[in-house]
Chains A and B, each alone.
Chain A
């Protein structure tokens, strides 16, 4: 056995001490369960697919029912590997009905969260690598999205102007008048756009370094609190806040124990 292989085996056997992945999985599943129930009842994605009157997609209805069943079982913490993988498959099917970054994000996060009790080979364990992988995955999401925002469209503030003006004109979004006035300034929107990119890059590095906890929580709450109010993105925002808040270690280092 090579030293590298032995080291990897030792690493994979390390156990997380505080059960953060399990808490995250149940909370994350709970947020998305609410999303799926409301979506099913209100026809959110169904209307987004096609604004004109049309017959409902049987595939989408079936997918929602499967996702709701998975969500209930995951919140109850029943066979998380099995129900987690079924949820991953169902959400992936949903992306064919309507491709949203939120769904792709769910697919990868739930795929990793499903392994939180040991995956296919073990049960009742708390492998540390799952928590590390989730933090790395979150870090990559923030890093990639920040880098892709490095274009004139975002940095000029045009995106924020368009999105806020659309909410005001199309939805009577109740911004206070000074906020609406501020968002009509290209200069103000551009400053916010730069701040958002810097915040996302900073959060990516905090997640990859797994510290400091307070900064990660401040950044994720700031970024997604802003996204909820300004861009009408609620469930994705809450699920990110939940994931970062619960997965980032609160101490100075992520501790683990070996159970080889």
Chain B
């Protein structure tokens, strides 16, 4: 009986400490209700609370990667659930440029339509270097 009580208290202590610590880390990182947005912190349950940047990237003409035609970022990945999103516009741009190694034509144009959670959108084109 004593072992069961000790075990229960230990389990509760672990779960509570883990999750309260995550909130303390959020506060230490600057999060304030109605103020600065949250950061990514494990076990803090920051779903949709962290600022995001997303881009829809296309290549014209399409790249050829691992034998498959890739005209759009989403062509490598799944349609549902698993998102190959990067955390920043810079992240998309770096990979978009590296992916130019798989071009199928000497002149390939990359288009990046990017949106962030501040509500801003941008639409840019550039040629593969």
Contacts and interface: CB of A to CB of B under 8 A. Distances in A.
Given A51-B76, A161-B119, A169 B113 contact: yes
A52 B56 contact: no
B24 interface: no
Interface string A151-180: 111101111011101100111000000000
Binding site of B, secondary structure by majority: helix, strand, loop or mixed?
loop
B82 interface: yes
A187 B56 CA distance: 24
A156 B46 contact: no
Interface string A45-62: 101100111000000000
Interface string B89-116: 0000001001100000000000001011
Nearest to B12: A133
B26 A148 contact: yes
A120 interface: yes
Interface residues of B, number: 61
Interface residues of A, number: 60
Contacts of A9: 1, 4-5
Contact of B34 (A42, A140, A150): A150
Interface of A: 5, 8-9, 12, 35, 38-39, 42, 44-45, 47-48, 51-53, 95, 99, 101, 104-105, 108, 111-112, 115, 119-121, 129, 133, 137, 140-141, 144-145, 147-154, 156-159, 161-163, 165-166, 169-171, 186, 231-235
Interface of B: 1, 3-5, 7-8, 11-12, 15, 19, 23, 26, 31, 33-38, 40, 42-56, 65-66, 72-74, 76-86, 95, 98-99, 113, 115-119, 121
